[in-house]
Amino acid sequence: MNKNDKESIDHFEKKYFSNYNKSFIPDTDDDNLWKNDTLVVTKEDSARAFHTWSWQKYLHLTQNIKNSTNEKTQDGLPLFLDDSKNIFQITEYGEPVYHENKSPLKLFAFHQAGSDHPVLKSNTDFAGISEDYTVFYSIHMNKIMHDQMVKATSSAIEKVKKGITNISDSTEAYNNYSLELKAAWVDLNAIPKDKQKNYLIVNNVPQIKKAFLNKLDSLTRKNDYNNINLIINNPLNYQNISAVALVGLHIVGKVEGFPEMLWATFEGQDLAPDNLNNLTDLNSKQRHGFKSNTTNSQPIAKTEANFLFFKKGELSATDSLNAIKFDASTKKGKIADKAYRKYPLGISQKKYDHPNNSEYRRHADLANELNKKALKKSEIKQYYNGNIWLAMLNSKESRNIDVYQQFNTGNLKLAGSPNATNITMETYHQNTTCFSCHGISNFSLDSKKDVQYRTLLNVSHIYGAYFADAYRKKINQKTRYC
């Protein structure tokens, strides 16, 4: 690590990590470190600033609520569940979630990313129990981002009404301080009692009854949104879960002065072992024990410990890819209960070692160093790994554009950690970059595909789903468009 990187990390640690309770939510100009910080973000330090932003956001959003004025948010819960801060839970179609009781959280979504709609379940041996538990997901958005989504949808639908069938908006990016979160939760019983202290916990959470999971899975595969909504909107279809643990978190935000939507991702350490072949030797002593070899004659993994998603034992190199491929018939990996982190620091060893990939190496080094700095700050938060990846949304707004090692072309330029995934959310899609799905390509709004829409806002799946849902509702109202 070069001298400038080390000095910058020390600066940010002293100024921000040690005072993260005074941090900010990006829905206001107040106390905005990007606006007020005296450290100018230049070509030499942008990577450090982005990684620091990642940890800064995580530490702030997961700090305990204190003296809440909202009756639904109890003191001690993570801050992102306090909707008095203009952050609220939404469905994957962008609709606000109604909470019937005083819980600020409601769990009904359980499909991971991917067209095969994978489901993630716990390893029963981890807690020594007979029942496996499904991982559920919640999505949260701040008012700034949601208001823009609603406004953009109305504008686009008005264009369709006027007979415009090919809508393209290549200039509108998300507003500054936009914020979207996706959290992964599992029943606390899936985690051994002696490890439960390592997780952020929410008590008394309504969760869709197990009896409806197969039905919802089938309806999702048919894109039957109407019947899905009938099930998830009925409060009688929920049971109260005494406690759930936060096992993963995606944070997406837009900061002033930069065109990027910044993606940061965090997950618990006890979830799965690392593939040390793609770890580099930066921090291997602190990581879980994957055997470092690249031949098919030796196991790629051999552990004596159970993890939440990995049953102890061996995983051969020849079986390693099947362990992170989803089997729709069993609702497990093709090699069951053997999920592992393929790229623990968001980059392959091959990319790290490549002589032309100095920017990739810097991201891996910085992610690793900032992890170690930030993990000292909280007894609970030290058990969460962090990473980040970036997307350039509008080159016209960009400054210092030559900072980024770009590895694709078109309006959406990627930089940062090209192989970053979250074991709780992309378990079975670790072989592709997240932006193979999170892009701005055209999406069709009807079966005839005669209405096409292309927008930078579609980098968030929520916007595409919200717009498509609004379009379907207009169709059901028999509104004529063309």
Cα–Cα distance for residue pair 426/438, rounded to 1 Å = 13
Q: What is residue 78's predicted lDDT score, i.e. its pLDDT?
A: 86
pLDDT of residue 172 exceeding 60: yes
Mean pLDDT calculated for residue range 347-375: 73
Token pair listed for 315: 């995983």
pLDDT of residue 23 exceeding 90: no
What does the DSSP assignment read for 304-319?
A: SS--SSB-SEEEEGGG
pLDDT of residue 222 exceeding 80: yes
Mean pLDDT calculated for residue range 315-326: 87
Any idea which of 134-148, 151-165, 339-353, 384-398 has the lowest mean pLDDT?
Answer: 384-398
In a domain, 112, yes or no: yes
Neighbours of 408 (CB within 10 A): 13
Smallest CA-to-CA distance from 341 within 388, 411, 289 is with 289
Which of the pair, 143 or 359, is modelled with greater confidence? Answer: 143
Q: Which residues 6+ apart lie within 8 Å of 64 measured at CB?
A: 75, 76, 77, 78, 79
Q: What is residue 299's predicted lDDT score, i.e. its pLDDT?
A: 55
Q: What is residue 282's predicted lDDT score, i.e. its pLDDT?
A: 40
DSSP state of 470: H
Strand order in the sheet with 452-455: 166-169, 452-455, 443-444
CA separation (Å) from 306 to 142, 198, 382, 475?
37, 16, 20, 51
Token pair listed for 316: 């051969």
Cα–Cα distance for residue pair 82/92, rounded to 1 Å = 19
pLDDT of residue 482 exceeding 50: no
Smallest CA-to-CA distance from 407 within 357, 353, 365, 341 is with 357
Cα–Cα distance for residue pair 348/70, rounded to 1 Å = 45
Q: Residue 433 carries which side chain, given as an amino acid letter?
A: T
In a domain, 376, yes or no: yes
What does the pLDDT look like over 113-125, one tens digit per residue? Answer: 777 899 999 999 9
Whether 471 contacts 445, CB under 8 Å: yes
Smallest CA-to-CA distance from 178 within 144, 152, 148 is with 144
Q: What is residue 161's predicted lDDT score, i.e. its pLDDT?
A: 82
pLDDT confidence tier of residue 445, bands split at 50, 70 and 90: low
Domains identified in the chain, total number: 1
CA-derived radius of gyration, the chain:
22
pLDDT of residue 414 exceeding 50: yes
DSSP state of 64: B
Cα–Cα distance for residue pair 252/462, rounded to 1 Å = 12
Which of the pair, 265 or 19, is modelled with greater confidence? Answer: 265
Whether 140 contacts 80, CB under 8 Å: yes
In a domain, 147, yes or no: yes
Neighbours of 346 (CB within 10 A): 23
Whether 292 contacts 277, CB under 8 Å: yes
Q: What is the 3-class SS of 223-266, one letter each residue?
A: CCHHHHHHHHCCHHHEEEEEEEEEEEEEEEEECCCCCCEEEEEE
In a domain, 477, yes or no: no
pLDDT confidence tier of residue 394, bands split at 50, 70 and 90: very low
Whether 407 contacts 433, CB under 8 Å: no
pLDDT of residue 62 exceeding 50: yes
pLDDT confidence tier of residue 379, bands split at 50, 70 and 90: low
pLDDT confidence tier of residue 361, bands split at 50, 70 and 90: confident
Q: What is residue 470's predicted lDDT score, i.e. its pLDDT?
A: 83
In a domain, 300, yes or no: yes
Which of the pair, 145 or 1, is modelled with greater confidence? Answer: 145
- Provide the CB-side half-sphere exposure for 80 (13 A, CA): 26
In a domain, 313, yes or no: yes
pLDDT confidence tier of residue 19, bands split at 50, 70 and 90: very low
What does the pLDDT look like over 350-359, one tens digit per residue? Answer: 777 777 777 7
Which of the pair, 397 or 459, is modelled with greater confidence? Answer: 459
In a domain, 72, yes or no: yes
pLDDT confidence tier of residue 267, bands split at 50, 70 and 90: very high
pLDDT confidence tier of residue 317, bands split at 50, 70 and 90: confident
Any idea which of 65-69, 277-281, 303-307, 308-312 has the lowest mean pLDDT?
Answer: 277-281
Which of the pair, 332 or 4, is modelled with greater confidence? Answer: 332
Q: What is residue 441's predicted lDDT score, i.e. its pLDDT?
A: 53
What is the extent of the structural domain holding 109? 3-156+171-472
Q: What is residue 281's predicted lDDT score, i.e. its pLDDT?
A: 43
What percent of the chain stands above pLDDT 70?
Answer: 66
Token pair listed for 25: 């939510």
Neighbours of 388 (CB within 10 A): 27
Longest alpha-carbon distance in the chain: 65
> Tokens 């914020």 — which residue?
179
Q: How far is CA 385 from the centre of its chain?
A: 13
In a domain, 42, yes or no: yes
* CB under 8 A, 24+ apart: contacts of 365-370: 365/1, 365/5, 365/282, 366/5, 366/9, 366/47, 366/48, 366/51, 367/51, 367/417, 368/280, 368/282, 368/283, 369/1, 369/5, 369/9, 370/9, 370/51, 370/52, 370/54, 370/55
Beta strands 384-392 and 261-268 are antiparallel
Mean pLDDT calculated for residue range 227-231: 93
Q: What angle do CA 152, 153, 155 make, to 5 degrees?
A: 65
**Mean pLDDT taken over the chain:** 75
Smallest CA-to-CA distance from 273 within 440, 385, 116, 113 is with 385
Mean pLDDT calculated for residue range 162-183: 81
